[in-house]
Amino acid sequence: MRSLVTRALLVRQVAYGESDVIATLFTEAEGKLGVMVRGGRKSTKRVGGALEPFHTLEARIDDRGGELATLREARIVQVRAGIVATLEAIDAAGTALRWLRHVCPPRTKEPEAWATVTELLDALDASDGAPPKVALAECGLRLLSDVGYALDLERCIQCGKECPPARTARVDPARGGLVCSTCAPLSAPRSSHGGVMMSAELRAKAIGAMSRSGVSPMPPLDAEALLTLVDAAMVAHAGFDR
């Protein structure tokens, strides 16, 4: 058995038995881990009120390498009380944690994903940056890239032909990006999402968000369109229901 001390985010918890909890943590050191929290439904010195979403925890975990490790101690090391000030921020933070839980494989270190989501949570806590939906859309695009599911919005995913920057393009998020007009009729059966037409302007904003090169101001309708693409890609790759 090894003992691990790492920063972590709580992405899920469910009651187990009369007093225990099974929690899913996204850790900086090991990626996603399932942990048993003995007595987690009671107030204890070992865990106390640390099992709360949105805050960064410091967790001490005993790991035998099985399906579940054991959470020995946890304490909050970064409070993000500002997130609970608005329903929009709560919804954005909760969606990002749901994406992490579904799209990240167990026991796989994901430093880029850790940085992307903690950056979003910090921005939502500060509440002085982009609106929550805009920040979430940017986070979703980056998170897909972080875990290897980046949407290719510059060239056809079937034939590799580049799409001129000023052209509207059809994007199939389930297949991984843009499909040119020549390949669209020959492409694999459409996903339940069916693909969408994406304007050149919105495509440029999405590419900028993924590359972290800076994002142009984005109205809420643009953020909604990008969130639809991100959510469809998450569903297709991680196999969960919306």
3-class DSSP state of 130: coil
Q: Give Cα 229 distance to the centre of its chain.
A: 13
Selection from 31, 32, 234, 238 nearest residue 141 by Cα: 234
**What pLDDT is attached to residue 45?**
63
Place of tokens 């026991």: 107
Rounded to an integer, what distance in angstroms lies between the CA atom of residue 170 and that of residue 173? 10
**What pLDDT is attached to residue 196?**
80
Q: Are strands 196-198 and 20-27 parallel, antiparallel or unpaired?
A: unpaired
Predicted TM-score (pTM) above 0.75? yes
Counting Cα atoms < 13 Å in the Cβ hemisphere of 169 gives 28
Cβ partners under 8 Å of residue 221, min gap 6? none
Domains in the chain with CATH codes = 2-78 (2.40.50.140), 85-242 (1.20.1440.120)
Under a CB-based contact definition with an 8 Å cutoff, are residues 68 and 206 in contact?
no
Mean pLDDT by 10 residues, the chain (242 residues): 94 89 95 90 70 94 91 94 96 96 94 97 90 94 94 93 91 90 61 69 89 71 91 85 60
Rounded to an integer, what distance in angstroms lies between the CA atom of residue 115 and that of residue 226? 21
Rounded to an integer, what distance in angstroms lies between the CA atom of residue 134 and that of residue 138? 6
Selection from 125, 116, 130 nearest residue 217 by Cα: 130
User: Kind and range of the H or E element at 112?
Assistant: helix 111-126
Phi and psi torsions of 176, nearest 5°: 115, 10
